[in-house]
Structures are given as C-alpha cells and as structure tokens.
Amino acid sequence: MPLSGLRPAPTHVLAHLSDPHLIAGAGLLAGRIDTREQLRKALARVEASGERIDALVVSGDVTDRGDVASYELFQDMVAPVVERLGCALVVTGGNHDERHPMAQVLHGADTDDPQDRVTEVRGLRIIAMDSAVPGYHHGGFSNGQFDWLARELAHPAPHGTILVLHHAPIAYRSPVMQLLDFDGVERLREVVEHTDVRAVLSGHLHVTSFGTLGRVPVLVAGGVSYVDDVGAPRELLMGVDGPQSWNLVEVHTDQVVATVVPVEQHPTWPALSDAVRDYLQTVPEARRREAFSRKRT
C-alpha cells in the first residue's frame, strides 16, 4: 500500500517531455545521439514512475527534420504508452518541426495551419500552441493566434489552464539562443495576465530552466535528445549527452510543482528501507511526522 503524505495528492499529474528531435532511420543527431533510444528511455521512465499521468505533454521539436517518417515513428512509439497510461496526449510544434507533415500524421489534417488545440482533463485546461514561425528558428504567434488564445482564455476552466508552447518566453542566459527565442513576450504576457493560466510549459532551450511570464511560472523541460552544457561560458553552445531529462508536473489546487526526472536510469539504492516504510504504515497519520522526523542521537 502506498504511504500517504501529509499533503493532499495533486489534482493532476503531467509528464512534460520536450525536444525529442526524432530521426527515423539510421541517422544520429549531431553524429552521436540515438534519438529513438532517448525517447524510448524517457517514455520508459514515465511509465516506471508509477504516477497516474493525466497527460503526456511534448512541447515541440518532436522531430529533427520535420519529415513524415519521423512523425510516424513518434506516433508508433508514443501511442502504446498513452494507451497503457490511459492519458491524454498533448503535442505542439517547434522550430525543427514542419507544420504540414506534422498536422498530416498526428492530426490527420491536410493543412499548413498551426495545430493549436485545447485539451481538457477533468477540469484542467491544457492549451498547446505552435510557436514556430514558418521558415525561421525563432518563435512567435501570428495575430490570429494571439486573438484565438485571448478568446480561449476569456472563460476560466475549473482547475485553471496550463499553456504549452515550444519557445520559452523567458530571458535565457545564452546570447545565441536569445536570437531564437519568442518574439512577442510582452504581448504574450498581456494576453495571459489576469487569466486562469497557472503555468507555461516550454522547451527549446535544451536545458531545465525556470522563469516567470508576469506572475505566471514558466517551467522549461530539459531536452530528451540532448542538453546544453550550462557549465560552459554563456557565449558557447555546447551539446552534452548525459543529463537529459523531463519534468514531472504536479498540479495542486494551490500550486504547480515541477520535478526534474533524468532520462537515464542511474544506479539506485533504498534510501528508505522497507522496514522503516512498513513501520510508518503502522503509525497514525497525526504522529507520523514526529515518528519519522525526530533526530535520534
């Protein structure tokens, strides 16, 4: 039986993955990253977490080259996981994606229009928007997209809204990545202000980072494929294979909590023994903190 904590369980749990940069076939990303294997490992960790996932969120750069075969591979890899988890799938495009093949494969739509969508899971509204500017690597929304978002947000959802867009609307440290960031942060802040948006989930930076859009937290998931080496000087953009991760996003009635989950399964050991866990089960909840927290000399 799982040990209950002192705080209520989250109302919703999201697995937020970003930047799989999937490549169908034999090619390696940057000549060294097996993107299929990276996504496989990340999805395995999502399932192994034992969490009751409400939505699997993939915030863009789904594929590296925007080709049909890579979207089909994504579909083939993700669909069985979503089926087993019984969760919603929320996907949005990034600068490495191409709208037409993505819409075709993932949504059965023959269009170049951005596939902006609303998914509602037991009262939590997840709005996923394509922030890729066609023909460019920086991000932004068209006037039509800004208007659509404002209309959607005009009415609150019971548990509020999570907004998903690839280009993180925060001031990331890399001067190079700032050339490729979201063009229109101030306008986005104004649209989101005074609405029920509780968090923005983004990617694109290939590093876990946190910031704010007005008073709304922006939670950036590190890349599933590869990560930017943040220990290097900001002028450099150095890829690193090792600390890839995704974010476990827990939505509570009063807060949103993001926890970083490494893609790689590192060696583990029981930091809490079975005996202690079994003992805690026997302690009434009101005395559990005293029983576990008190230092023993």
The residue (of 27 and 250) whose beta carbon lies closer to Fe ion is: 27
204 lines the binding site for Fe ion (CB under 5 A): yes
| Partner residues linked to 239 by β-bridges | 228
64 counts as binding Fe ion under rule CB under 5 A: no
Helix 99-107 to helix 68-85 angle (10° resolution) is: 40
- 94 lies in the site for Fe ion, by CB under 5 A: yes
Query: Does position 66 bind Fe ion by CB under 5 A?
Result: no
Stretch near Fe ion under the rule CB under 5 A, chosen from 16-24, 117-125, 155-163, 186-194: 16-24
**Residue 42, SS3 per DSSP:** helix
Buried b (16+ CB within 10 A) or exposed e, 234-270: eeeeeebbebbbbbbbbbeeeebebeebebeeeeeee
Q: Is 67 in the site for Fe ion (CB under 5 A)?
A: no
Identify which range of 53-61, 80-88, 237-245, 252-260 contacts Fe ion by CB under 5 A: 53-61
Quick check: 222 binds Fe ion (CB under 5 A)?
no
Helix ranges, the chain (H)? 35-48, 68-85, 99-107, 143-152, 175-178, 185-192, 274-282, 285-293
| Per CB under 5 A, 95 contacts Fe ion | yes
Which token pair is 138? 């920086």
For residue 20, the minimal CB distance to Fe ion (Å) is: 9
Size of the site for Fe ion (CB under 5 A): 5
∠73-15-150 over CA atoms, to 5°? 95
Q: Which is nearer to Fe ion, 38 or 95 (CB)?
A: 95
Q: Which of 14, 55, 59, 61 binds Fe ion (CB under 5 A)?
A: 61
| Interaction site with Fe ion (CB under 5 A) | 19, 61, 94-95, 204
